[in-house]
Structure 1
Amino acid sequence: MKFDGHIHSPYCPHGSSDQFEEYIERAVQLGMNEISFTEHAPLPKGFSDPTPDQDSGMDWEQLLPYIKDLKVLKEYNKKRIKINIGLEVDFIEGFEQETKELLDEIGGSLDDSILSVHFIKHEDSWLCIDFSEDLFYEISRMLGGVDEVHQQYYSTVKQSIHADLGKYKPTRIGHITLATKFQKKYPASRSFDSEVFNLLHLIHSKNYSLDYNGAGKVKPLCGETYPSEKFASYAAKLGIPLIYGSDAHTAKGLAQGFEGIAAAVEPSLNRVIR
C-alpha cells in the first residue's frame, strides 16, 4: 500500500491527541508515498450537532489553523511524502446551501475531500447513526426498526450523490455502508444489497470515486470494510476508482483494515484522488 486517503488529525474533537508529525512518521514507516488528511469539516452554521458529546466536526475557528498547519508540514515533508490537505464533509439533508457556501469558501485550499453521511433526518430532527451502539439502538426504535435506519441511510447517501454543492463538491463518497457498523448486534432483517448496488451504479454514472474504508474491519460489531468485499469487487468491475482509507483517528490506526482486501479490487485502488 502506497496511499492512505482518509486520515484524521489532532483537530478531530472525537479523536486522539496524536500530532500531525506522529501520523506522518507512521506513514513513512509503513512505506507510504502519499497521504490525505481529511478532518471532519465544521458542521453547517445553523445545524445543531445531535450527538451526546457534540463532537462530530471541528470548530469553525479551527478550520484555517488546520489548513495553515498542514501547508507548513506539506512543504517541510515534500521530499519524503506527499501530503494532501483535505476535509471529510458531511452531507446533511436540508443544509445543502450552507455546505455549498463552506466549500465555496475553502475548496480552493484543498487538495482532497470526501463526502460522507453520518446524519439522517427524521421528521424535524437529525440523528447520528454511528456515534455508539446504544444510540443506534435508540434511533432504530425511534424509526421503527433497524431496517428503517438502513433505508433512511441509503436514501440519504443517494441524495448526497445527486446534491448540487458547487464546483468544490467532493466526488469521493465516504464509507458507503456505514449503516452496518453495529450489524453483529443489530442486524437488518432483510438484505439491502440492491440499494448498495444501485448507489454504485449512480456513483459510476457520475464518474465519482469510492472511499474503500478499512475502519469497519476493525470495529468489533461490524467486521468488514465499508463497503464489504462483494460491493468493492462489483465497484471495481464497473470501473469505479476505489480509494483506500484507514479512517484513522490515531497514528497507529494508519493502514487499518487494509490486509486481506480482495485481490480483484487491488488494481482499482488509488487510481485517482478527488
Structure 2
Amino acid sequence: MKIDGHTHTQYCPHGSGDDVQLMIEKAIELGFDEYHITEHTPVPSSFQNALKPDEAVASLSMSENDVDDYIKQMYKVRDRYKDRIRIKIGFEYDYLPSDSKWFKQFLKEYGKYCDTGLLSVHYLEGIGGWHCIDYKAEDTLYGLVNYYGSTEAFQLAYYDTVKQSILDDMGPFKPTRIGHMTLCNKFMQFLNCEDTEKIINKQIEVLKLVKEKNYILDYNTAGLFKEYCGETYPPKHVVEIANTLNIQLMYGSDSHGVKDIGRGYEDYVSTVK
C-alpha cells in the first residue's frame, strides 16, 4: 500500500496556501492509496508571547478559532474522495514541554475526531525566549546554538526534548508516530552539524524509547530538498539502527503544497521498503 503519512493544508500559515483537494488530486495521480492530513496544532497564546523573533509568530500554526472548521472541512473532503483514496485526519502535535497541560486538554477535546497524528518537536528554549529550530538558519545559530554553547549541545538538547515528548503522559489520544526525528539537522551544512559519538548515542536512546513504547517513525523526505540539509529525517544510519530494533517507518512528504506531493518517495522505497 502506498501511503503518505505527513501532509499539510491551506490552514498552515507557513505553507503555500494550496487547497488540500488539489494536493489529494495529485496524490491520486501519483498512485497513493492512503493520504494522512496532519495539520499543525495551534499553540497557546502564552507560548506565542514567548516566541522569538517576533516575526516568527505569524508563521506558527492555525488559530485556535480555526480548529473546529478544520475538522469539519477535512471530514467533508474525506467523504468527497472516499471512493478514490483512503484519507485519515489528524494533527501534527508541536510538543512544548512548558505547555504540556494545554496539549493534554487539546488532545482530550479533539483526539476522538482523529485517526492519525504525529508527535513533533519544533521549538526549544533559547536566547530571550523560545525559538523554532527550523525557522531560519541564522536564527537557529543566534538563538539556540549560541544559547547552548555549541552545535552539538543544541542537537543534544533537541534529542532530549524528543525523549521527553515520548515519555510525557498525554492521555489515550497521544500520537504514537514521531515526526522528523532528526529535524535539528535541517541547517546542518550552515551550522556544521556532525554525527558525533554523543549525538549517535543520543539518537540510539531515542530509538530505544520508540521501540519500548511501540511507536513508529516518520520517514520524512522534506530534508532532501532543503538548502542546508540534503538528507532525510532520519538519515540512513538512523534507519539502519531502527531496522535492527524492528521499528516501523512510514513515508511522509511533509507536503505544504501540491509541488511537494510524492517528493522523495523513491528514496523511501530504496532505503526502507
What TM-score range do you get, normalising by the shorter chain?
over 0.9
Alignment match, 1:33: 33
What is the CA RMSD across the aligned residues, in angstroms?
1.6
* Residue from 72, 77, 85 that aligns with 2:76: 72
- In 2, Cα distance between equivalents of 1:258 and 1:173: 18
1:50 offset after TM fit, Å? 3.3
Q: In the superposition, relative to structure 1, how do residues 131 and 188 fare at CA in structure 2: closer, same or farther (>3 Å)?
A: same
1:76 offset after TM fit, Å? 1.2
Query: Residue 102 in 1 paired to residue 106 in 2?
Result: yes
Contact 2:219 2:268 (8 Å CA) reproduced = no
Amino acid at match of 2:224: K
Alignment match, 1:148: 153
Amino acid at match of 1:168: F
Q: Which moved more, 1:122-131 or 1:216-225?
A: 122-131
Q: Which has the higher helix share?
A: 2
Query: Residue 184 in 1 paired to residue 189 in 2?
Result: yes
| Runs of 4+ that moved beyond 3 A | 261-264
* Residue from 193, 196, 200 that aligns with 2:203: 196
- In 2, Cα distance between equivalents of 1:111 and 1:14: 24
1:257 offset after TM fit, Å? 2.2
Alignment match, 2:3: 3
1:241 offset after TM fit, Å? 1.3
Amino acid at match of 1:232: V
Corresponding residue pairs, total? 266
The unaligned stretches of length 5 or more in structure 2 are none
- In 2, Cα distance between equivalents of 1:182 and 1:53: 17
Alignment match, 1:136: 140
Q: Which moved more, 1:120-129 or 1:62-71?
A: 120-129
Alignment match, 1:175: 180
Alignment match, 1:272: none
1:101 offset after TM fit, Å? 0.3
Query: Residue 211 in 1 paired to residue 218 in 2?
Result: yes
Contact 2:127 2:147 (8 Å CA) reproduced = no
Q: In the superposition, relative to structure 1, how do residues 104 and 45 fare at CA in structure 2: closer, same or farther (>3 Å)?
A: farther
- In 1, Cα distance between equivalents of 2:25 and 2:52: 35
The unaligned stretches of length 5 or more in structure 1 are 267-274
Query: Residue 117 in 1 paired to residue 121 in 2?
Result: yes
- In 1, Cα distance between equivalents of 2:253 and 2:109: 27
- In 2, Cα distance between equivalents of 1:81 and 1:153: 36
Contact 2:8 2:20 (8 Å CA) reproduced = no
Q: In the superposition, relative to structure 1, how do residues 224 and 190 fare at CA in structure 2: closer, same or farther (>3 Å)?
A: closer
1:251 offset after TM fit, Å? 1.1
